[in-house]
Structure 1
């Protein structure tokens, strides 16, 4: 496909011709009113006091009609299918953001309309592996969407997660990558393992008296979230939240979830922020977002004050001290606050969600559970042998189970949009003009039958070739699945901490299987789909998640019995 932009390129914004048309219609309406009011006052149906209101309403109505007509029938993206409402307003996206079902809606839209869907006036969702590569490739002609600017409404600067401009993102990424380098993480492993041990002990009522009985059930969404946040607090700030042992800070998870959900909702209606209307339309979300900013500031100030007292390496210490190799610049205090928020939100939430999903799907698929437990027990003879390293990496079925769980229930199920830059961009044989937001929904492509046969079935074997695993698939099928897999993103903006996340999850799951037998508490259905939740959430063996940019979920309720 030619890389040149088509000659029929048109502006995304409503052209002046349509604005002028609305003015002409308004003027005609005004002249009619004036003629009636001043030349035939005795028969006039309006009064002078209502004339101004009538004029304003007419102008507004004609203008809206012109905008809608242009966006529906004359817009350069008008040829792409999608919901009618979404063609002319982003309130369609706001509605699904508030419902928490954006990921499900993207899946349904692609099932109905095909691989290219228009879900907003200037927004396109695609559902192919080629689009995934071309949109998020390091050399693609796009940048992060203007949606991410909403972050600066609450924080003074952008973080690595929200920075739009490539050079600035590259600088921040180099610094954050240094903080998450393997040699840095190795020095923090002891603090990770300390939290993992506490977590495993907390799965039974009395860790000292390990009777061979089923213990009271644990809500794994809560416990995995507490573990992930405690680990992130320890390795980032050298300051543990102590969520596993105390209730004092457990509300942080709820605040983060609502705050981030509010951010993605408000990002689709930035005018409300400009007009200071967010506190009216999104009052609680706005309050929670400011709480996230306050929390990040408090943690940053505390850690800066402890700079001389903490000698061991942590992520924040590296971020504060490292100097970019190219620009020789260090992060400012405001940038450290923004990065702190990034680590609090992204670092803990996605890891906790992946742990929860893995446990959920294993316990809803007994054959997979039994096979994985056999792999763990045959690979390790001692509990303390289970930690990051070569021996754990050789547990291929464990890795496949985690990968499959994140395919079915990705931590970020919606779209990470990218804005097309000048002079436009070809994506999978489609040309999009500058200003278009394009992206791929993780949930939608992870359930695309072209890449994943039986897309709602938990099948770890789809990630293992038959040459290394009994019941595996061909090498070509593995490569096809890998081409459409993106729970951590792809390209230059993928998650810099994904290796850390995998190591944490593998260690936790392996230790639980080594120590305990597990089962869903009899009679409980928390986390499962049901007809009561609606036709889109009726699958019993699918972990139900609510898209708040990151995932919110409840359950499953799991009982543990010492082995």
Structure 2
């Protein structure tokens, strides 16, 4: 059209009179369809959630509420099955968990959620099971029980460095920020096991490692990426220097990504570099087959995924577990007694295989996992085209379904007095409570790093409780406050403890 430019009144008028009304009309028609004619129209839930995906965006982004906590109120109002989006259902009965996430189901992941974990492709961001399995199988040898047992000395090295830093706090008469300490320890363990290099976070004064601060600061962005994927694409194209200028607290995260990018390039261009690592890494596994080598960015995304997944889940469990142990003198005394008997000489550190045989330590760890949940947001799946029976109802094919771990772990019919920290429930129970411990998820897409996770939990709690007399410094379990950002994102006060070395 002659004379029409982006700045001209005619162009703006065209947008206002043509495109905008068309979009509004389309949205209104779609909302009516979603409310009254959609295959899920017969399921109860908030009308706004049924009408549009914007309801979840409003809850998570604009109100900054936790979806998993909001779901509790919705089920109280609407019953066991609630429609939480035009094409999404959430379930409250724990039995639904095993109907959705079981070894026989090869259901696709819902990319509305999982796209946030990589700019390109990673194990977590492949929707269909057959393709995801091929990618997952590449990393399985690194996280196998056999390899974790062989590499446990690296976990112990990271714990020893953590304890050296705690000893410095004791000499200086300072309390220890237990949250920062075990976040640092977790990130060093992941880097040491996966990439054969440490970030040396555990050596930072006061455990104030930039990478830990950056990982924490970056987490709230995930819900924005979830509902506004275009923003994720724009950020992924942004040069690191610009991102850091806009958000200086992400400097440590940017440096970590650059380190991983440089490692990927080195591993792909210099085979000798892999030999110099003297241990298997994710690069060894991904570069074995020349026909299936991913792009540099994809391999970097895989590396970042391992860092994020391995840092948050393990450290959350350890930190919340320590808070509960120290708040309960009887639990602490019983755990210390068991550890002293199994580890009488402080200089002879027991192996992971010995620690996992200790019944009370095992019960404490299971209770810590139960009360921190692992992932708290529903891990959504797409029902296959033939449909499925879930919670006694037929669910049409193509529907997105899920259940938050919290609805299993806090169910009073399974875990009596579910909000209380009671390790004894794992020793005294007549039923199989392990069936209902879903912190590592269940089914064919359960946590890839479960063996490393258990190793880290056993060795971390054992080293801390056996080596030190610890007291809470003005905090307690109620200060473990989190917001649902897929994983629990800690938003409480500094978690401080006073420590003294044990000599016997």
Shift of 1:201: 2.4
Match of 2:66 in 1: 101
Q: Equivalent of 1:459, from 422, 427, 440?
A: 422
Shift of 1:321: 4.3
Q: Does 1:403 align with 2:366?
A: yes
Q: Equivalent of 1:504, from 456, 461, 470?
A: 456
Task: Tell me, in whole angstroms, the C-alpha distance in 1 between the residues paired with 2:436 and 2:147.
Answer: 31
Q: Does 1:221 align with 2:179?
A: yes
Task: Tell me, in whole angstroms, the C-alpha distance in 1 between the residues paired with 2:455 and 2:214.
Answer: 27
Q: Equivalent of 2:279, from 304, 308, 313?
A: 313
Q: Which consecutive residues of structure 2, in runs of 5 or more, have no partner in the other structure?
A: 1-11, 239-245
Whether contact under 8 Å (1:192, 1:231) holds in the other structure is yes
Whether contact under 8 Å (2:119, 2:236) holds in the other structure is no
Q: Equivalent of 2:441, from 489, 497, 502?
A: 489
Whether contact under 8 Å (1:129, 1:483) holds in the other structure is no
Q: Does 1:473 align with 2:429?
A: yes
Normalization by structure 2: what TM-score?
A: 0.84
Q: Residues 380 and 53 (structure 1 numbering): CA distance in 2 closer, same or farther, change over 3 Å?
A: closer
Q: Equivalent of 2:197, from 209, 234, 239?
A: 239
Q: Equivalent of 1:338, from 301, 308, 315?
A: 301
Q: Describe the superposition over 1:342-398 as per-residue Cα deviations: whole angstroms up to 9, x where unpaired.
A: 211112221111111111111222222222112111222123444433321121111
Q: Equivalent of 2:318, from 355, 374, 397?
A: 355
The farther-off stretch of 442-451 and 109-118 is: 109-118
Q: Residues 191 and 58 (structure 1 numbering): CA distance in 2 closer, same or farther, change over 3 Å?
A: closer
Whether contact under 8 Å (1:127, 1:440) holds in the other structure is yes
Match of 2:224 in 1: 265
Whether contact under 8 Å (1:364, 1:541) holds in the other structure is no
Task: Tell me, in whole angstroms, the C-alpha distance in 1 between the residues paired with 2:247 and 2:429.
Answer: 48
Task: Tell me, in whole angstroms, the C-alpha distance in 1 between the residues paired with 2:41 and 2:351.
Answer: 51
Match of 1:135 in 2: 100
Task: Tell me, in whole angstroms, the C-alpha distance in 2 between the residues paired with 1:206 and 1:60.
Answer: 60
Describe the SS at the equivalent of 1:438: strand
Shift of 1:87: 1.6
Q: Describe the superposition over 1:90-144 as per-residue Cα deviations: whole angstroms up to 9, x where unpaired.
A: 2332244332522322333333333212111111111233221121223325211
Match of 1:251 in 2: 210
Match of 1:146 in 2: 111
Match of 1:163 in 2: 126
Q: Which consecutive residues of structure 1, in runs of 5 or more, have no partner in the other structure?
A: 1-48, 465-471, 529-539
Match of 1:551 in 2: 488
Shift of 1:410: 2.0
Shift of 1:341: 1.4
Shift of 1:57: 5.6
The farther-off stretch of 95-104 and 196-205 is: 95-104
RMSD: 3.3
Q: Equivalent of 1:448, from 398, 405, 411?
A: 411
The farther-off stretch of 185-194 and 349-358 is: 185-194
Q: Does 1:381 align with 2:335?
A: no
Q: Residues 165 and 59 (structure 1 numbering): CA distance in 2 closer, same or farther, change over 3 Å?
A: closer
Match of 2:43 in 1: 80
Q: Describe the superposition over 1:427-478 as per-residue Cα deviations: whole angstroms up to 9, x where unpaired.
A: 23222223321111012321122222212111112222xxxxxxx232x2xx
Shift of 1:556: 2.1
Whether contact under 8 Å (2:154, 2:193) holds in the other structure is yes
Match of 1:45 in 2: none
Whether contact under 8 Å (1:417, 1:438) holds in the other structure is yes
Shift of 1:215: 4.3
1:429-448 correspondence to structure 2 within 5 Å: 429-448=392-411
Whether contact under 8 Å (2:385, 2:397) holds in the other structure is yes
Match of 2:389 in 1: 426
Describe the SS at the equivalent of 1:444: helix
Describe the SS at the equivalent of 2:167: coil
Match of 2:4 in 1: none
Shift of 1:54: 5.4
Task: Tell me, in whole angstroms, the C-alpha distance in 2 between the residues paired with 1:87 and 1:421.
Answer: 21
Greater share of helix: 2
Match of 2:264 in 1: 300
Whether contact under 8 Å (1:380, 1:386) holds in the other structure is yes
Q: Residues 223 and 144 (structure 1 numbering): CA distance in 2 closer, same or farther, change over 3 Å?
A: same
Whether contact under 8 Å (2:113, 2:380) holds in the other structure is no
Describe the SS at the equivalent of 1:414: coil
Whether contact under 8 Å (1:125, 1:440) holds in the other structure is yes
Instruction: Name the count of aligned residue pairs.
Output: 476
Q: Point out the structure with max Rg over C-alpha.
A: 1
The farther-off stretch of 502-511 and 132-141 is: 132-141
Q: Residues 520 and 513 (structure 1 numbering): CA distance in 2 closer, same or farther, change over 3 Å?
A: same
Task: Tell me, in whole angstroms, the C-alpha distance in 2 between the residues paired with 1:155 and 1:61.
Answer: 31
Describe the SS at the equivalent of 1:87: helix
Describe the SS at the equivalent of 2:440: coil
Q: Residues 272 and 74 (structure 1 numbering): CA distance in 2 closer, same or farther, change over 3 Å?
A: farther
Match of 1:117 in 2: 82
Shift of 1:88: 1.8
Normalization by structure 1: what TM-score?
A: 0.76
Task: Tell me, in whole angstroms, the C-alpha distance in 1 between the residues paired with 2:393 and 2:257.
Answer: 40
Q: Describe the superposition over 1:130-169 as per-residue Cα deviations: whole angstroms up to 9, x where unpaired.
A: 22112122332521112256348x623x211221121111
Task: Tell me, in whole angstroms, the C-alpha distance in 1 between the residues paired with 2:147 and 2:429.
Answer: 37
Task: Tell me, in whole angstroms, the C-alpha distance in 2 between the residues paired with 1:389 and 1:414.
Answer: 31
Shift of 1:273: 5.9
Describe the SS at the equivalent of 1:559: strand
